[in-house]
Structure 1
């Protein structure tokens, strides 16, 4: 039977694509912009910590509104606050580095609201049969925006004097966020039911034999890598080349590879291949880091980026699908889908904060570049921990089992 996506799924992909495009245009260069104002690894680390703390708190607190009221408002508010964030960065200019915590908290709140609502709606408009296809399209759109956005931004920034290019790109992102808000009004208002259970994540993780326990460990392992890699790799490319255009080129090449790999994964990656595919992806994500131990240059960073673009879909699609599949295994879990989305994000946040904590400890002693690389390699091994944690879920869950929605 041919697997397809419904109209609401396609519209949700469109809103996600616009959100991703705005982020790709400005987000890739945001940390470089801050770095040029104050070259301080610790400052960027704390900026990311503030985002993660606000993101996790927003998921947990906003869960009540999303479950009991209107999740579409949360989706639009998150998109609008992202636009407000870049408006404030434009207003603050180089002095934005003096407002790291409030800006990081605002960005974290905007991301938390958007992704909480997006993940809940995503679960509601997909099922087990087309979830890998939807995830493949999300990755595909992310790759397309990753090709166009950073390359265009790098070209504009490198050709304009001072910070004029940054101001232009941040303004364009602001406009795209507004368009995304408008498009979101075409999404149907989703039904709400039940009462939000504040301590449900803790209940699930403390329950003996709960499948969310190994999945939680896997998500924490995923977050350990994400927390640092999300900002440090792009910054290292800039530090190695001192050219925004090179960073844009790096994103263009790696996102082009990711486009093909996500398309292939979405088309051919079936549930029965998840365990072996995830292991292969985890091994590849680690191996491509090893050349950095000999030299940190544009060539080795590009090799790592291309290898990661190939391995990431193999690793991420099983991890994402496994969590959302668990939400559909019983009527009780379906009813608690908001709380389970919050649980998922809190586990990721915990992992990201652990990774960032190790990064901040290292940078306090002003490490050499080689010491930073060893940290990157160590963090890059955590996808293997993630596979070990959830391999039983991938192997034992029957992909033919019906889902209750």
Structure 2
């Protein structure tokens, strides 16, 4: 039987694609922009920590709104607030570094609202059969925007004087967010039911033999890596080359590889391959980091980026699909899908904050590049820990 996506799934992919494009245009260079205003690892760390705290709190608080009222309004507000964030960055310019915490909290609230609503609607418009296909398309669109956005932005920033290029790409992103809000109105208003249970995440994790416990540890391990990698790798590429164009080129090449790997994973990666695929992906994600121990250059970073782009679908698709499949194992879980999405994000946030805490301890005590590289290697091993926690669950799903 041919696996297909419905019209609402395709429209949701389109809104996500616009959101990803706007983020790819500006998000890739946001931390570089802040670094050029104030070259301080700790400042970027606090900016990221403020985002993660706001994302987690927003998921938990907005869960009641999404479950009992209108999840589509949360989706649109998340997109709109992200646009407002870039408008404020445009307004403050190089003084944005003086407003790290309020700006970080605003961006975190925006992302929290969008991804909470997106994940709930994603669960509602997909099922176990087409979830891997949908995830593959999400990765594919993310890779396509990663090819176009950063390369175009890097080219503009390099060719324009002072911060004119940054102001232009932030403005373009703002316009794209407005377009995404417009298209989101074509998504059907989803039915709401039930009462939001504030303590559900704690209840699930405190229940003996709960299947959410190993998944929570897997998500924690995922978050520990991505919380730091999300901003540090792009900054290292910029520091190694001192050219925004090279960073755009790096994103173009790695996203082009990721496009192919996500397309292949979406087409051929089936549920019974999840455990072996996640193990293979976890090992590869660690191995491609090792050349950085000898030399940090554009070449070794590009090798790492290409290797990660190949390995990431093998690792991340089982993580995503396993969690959402678990939400559909019973009518009771389906009814609690909002709370379980919140649980999933809180586990990721905890992991990200853990990784960022290690990062902050490292950079406060030393700015030596070798310390940063060993930090990357250490956090790069966490996906393997995630597989160790998840392997029994993945094998059970495959049988």
- Alpha-carbon shift at residue 334 of structure 1 (Å): 0.1
CA distance in structure 2 between the partners assigned to 1:30 and 1:308 by the alignment = 22
C-alpha contact 2:227 2:356 (8 A) present in aligned 1: yes
Match of 2:191 in 1: 191
CA distance in structure 2 between the partners assigned to 1:381 and 1:175 by the alignment = 39
What are structure 1's unaligned runs of at least 5 residues?
400-405
Rate the CA distance shift 1:254–1:398 in 2: closer, same or farther, 3 A.
closer
Instruction: Say if 2:384 is the partner of 1:384.
Output: yes
CA distance in structure 2 between the partners assigned to 1:316 and 1:398 by the alignment = 16
C-alpha contact 2:272 2:397 (8 A) present in aligned 1: no
C-alpha contact 2:271 2:397 (8 A) present in aligned 1: no
Match of 1:285 in 2: 285
Match of 1:137 in 2: 137
What are structure 2's unaligned runs of at least 5 residues?
none
- Alpha-carbon shift at residue 398 of structure 1 (Å): 5.0
Task: Write out aligned runs for 1:77-88 (5 A).
Answer: 77-88=77-88
CA distance in structure 2 between the partners assigned to 1:379 and 1:249 by the alignment = 25
| SS of alignment partner, residue 208 of structure 1 | coil
Match of 1:57 in 2: 57
CA distance in structure 2 between the partners assigned to 1:394 and 1:366 by the alignment = 40
C-alpha contact 2:275 2:391 (8 A) present in aligned 1: yes
Task: Write out aligned runs for 1:23-172 (5 A).
Answer: 23-172=23-172
CA distance in structure 2 between the partners assigned to 1:146 and 1:373 by the alignment = 24
CA distance in structure 1 between the partners assigned to 2:44 and 2:87 by the alignment = 20
CA distance in structure 2 between the partners assigned to 1:372 and 1:182 by the alignment = 42
Instruction: Say if 2:236 is the partner of 1:236.
Output: yes
CA distance in structure 2 between the partners assigned to 1:252 and 1:397 by the alignment = 36
Match of 1:206 in 2: 206
Instruction: Say if 2:326 is the partner of 1:326.
Output: yes
Match of 1:267 in 2: 267
CA distance in structure 2 between the partners assigned to 1:288 and 1:333 by the alignment = 38
Match of 1:402 in 2: none
CA distance in structure 2 between the partners assigned to 1:69 and 1:128 by the alignment = 26
CA distance in structure 2 between the partners assigned to 1:108 and 1:363 by the alignment = 23
CA distance in structure 1 between the partners assigned to 2:161 and 2:83 by the alignment = 24
CA distance in structure 2 between the partners assigned to 1:238 and 1:65 by the alignment = 40
- Alpha-carbon shift at residue 397 of structure 1 (Å): 1.9
CA distance in structure 1 between the partners assigned to 2:314 and 2:131 by the alignment = 15
Match of 1:294 in 2: 294
CA distance in structure 1 between the partners assigned to 2:366 and 2:336 by the alignment = 46
- Alpha-carbon shift at residue 365 of structure 1 (Å): 1.6
- Alpha-carbon shift at residue 367 of structure 1 (Å): 2.7
Match of 2:11 in 1: 11
CA distance in structure 1 between the partners assigned to 2:79 and 2:171 by the alignment = 15
CA distance in structure 1 between the partners assigned to 2:148 and 2:234 by the alignment = 16
CA distance in structure 2 between the partners assigned to 1:60 and 1:395 by the alignment = 31
CA distance in structure 2 between the partners assigned to 1:116 and 1:226 by the alignment = 18
Residues 337-374 of structure 1: CA deviation (Å, up to 9, x unaligned): 00000000000000000000000000002331011100
CA distance in structure 2 between the partners assigned to 1:14 and 1:144 by the alignment = 12
| SS of alignment partner, residue 48 of structure 2 | helix
With the length of structure 1 as denominator, give the TM-score of the two structures. 0.98
| SS of alignment partner, residue 189 of structure 1 | coil
Residues 238-258 of structure 1: CA deviation (Å, up to 9, x unaligned): 000000000000000000000
CA distance in structure 2 between the partners assigned to 1:181 and 1:323 by the alignment = 28
Match of 1:249 in 2: 249
| SS of alignment partner, residue 129 of structure 2 | helix
Residues 211-242 of structure 1: CA deviation (Å, up to 9, x unaligned): 00000000000000001000000000000000
Instruction: Say if 2:166 is the partner of 1:173.
Output: no
The number of residues matched between the two structures is 399
Aligned CA-pair RMSD: 0.5
